[in-house]
Amino acid sequence: MGVTDAPWMLGVRAPDRGRAILVVTVDGELAVAVHDAVPGGMAVIRDARSEDADEITAACIPWPWMVIGSAVSLTPALASVLRHRPVLTYWLGDPAAGLPGHARYFDRPAALLDAVRRACVADVGGMRLAPGSGVELDDGTLMRGATLESLVAAYPHGFALPTHNFRAVSNALARHNAGWSAQRDGACVRLVRSHVGAAR
């Protein structure tokens, strides 16, 4: 078999700036299913176990775009990232303690995989995830930024995080006259149409 004797060298632990879906499970079966569900080139699937979830989280630069988990507890570094960063959080089965308020829960793998697919192909007023990283506008402009990628993919949902996390995105959207901004709507901050700018 091809299994390496040096787990600390595994490619899944290598730092990478590409869009990443971190899947933390006991055996990797869900990660394989997620791999099959995600359109080619859209994101890298990082298949983690509890024992290496913190290292792999740190290798996702700046942070994982999406975290999927099942039947595991949150590790300290992962819990910290989920508390402070806009990370799409999907959980299968019983919720782990410490998940953020914007986490989404699924009883069946099929429903979770469908949500993953929809996040990958989200289209918010012409803003779509570009392959690998960034958000493409209708006119071909590429906007970089992990927070904007998260907001587009989460739409119409948002993130239960402080508003200051999203100021840079709102400023960038205003500069591009995108017609959208990140605004608080109840407990969450999400994308909403802005009154100024040319709505696309």
Residue numbers 110-149 binding another protein by CB under 8 A: 130-134, 140, 142, 144
DSSP state of 22: E
Which residue, chain included where needed, has tokens 């791999």?
A: 35
Please identify, using beta-carbon distances, which residue of 52 and 91 lies nearer to another protein.
52
Candidates 1-9, 63-71, 103-111, 190-198: pick the segment binding another protein (CB under 8 A).
1-9
Site for another protein contains 12 (CB under 8 A) = yes
Please identify, using beta-carbon distances, which residue of 60 and 169 lies nearer to another protein.
60
Site for another protein contains 68 (CB under 8 A) = no
Please identify, using beta-carbon distances, which residue of 28 and 93 lies nearer to another protein.
28
Nearest-angstrom CA–CA distance, 87 and 93? 19
Site for another protein contains 62 (CB under 8 A) = no
Nearest-angstrom CA–CA distance, 26 and 71? 7
Site for another protein contains 3 (CB under 8 A) = yes
With H, G, I as helix, E, B as strand and everything else as coil, classify residue 129. strand
Please identify, using beta-carbon distances, which residue of 43 and 87 lies nearer to another protein.
43
Task: Count residues binding another protein (CB under 8 A).
Answer: 35
Please identify, using beta-carbon distances, which residue of 1 and 196 lies nearer to another protein.
1
- Strands (E) across 25-64 are located at 44-48
Candidates 3-11, 76-84, 113-121, 154-162: pick the segment binding another protein (CB under 8 A).
3-11
Nearest-angstrom CA–CA distance, 200 and 179? 7
Site for another protein contains 44 (CB under 8 A) = yes
With H, G, I as helix, E, B as strand and everything else as coil, classify residue 77. helix
Token pair listed for 17? 């700036």
Nearest-angstrom CA–CA distance, 19 and 30? 18
Nearest-angstrom CA–CA distance, 61 and 7? 20
Nearest-angstrom CA–CA distance, 10 and 70? 22
Please identify, using beta-carbon distances, which residue of 18 and 197 lies nearer to another protein.
18
Q: Which of 138, 145, 141 is nearest to 65 (CA)?
A: 145
Site for another protein contains 41 (CB under 8 A) = yes
Binding interface with another protein (CB under 8 A): 1-6, 9-12, 14, 16-18, 27-29, 31-32, 35, 39-41, 44-47, 130-134, 140, 142, 144
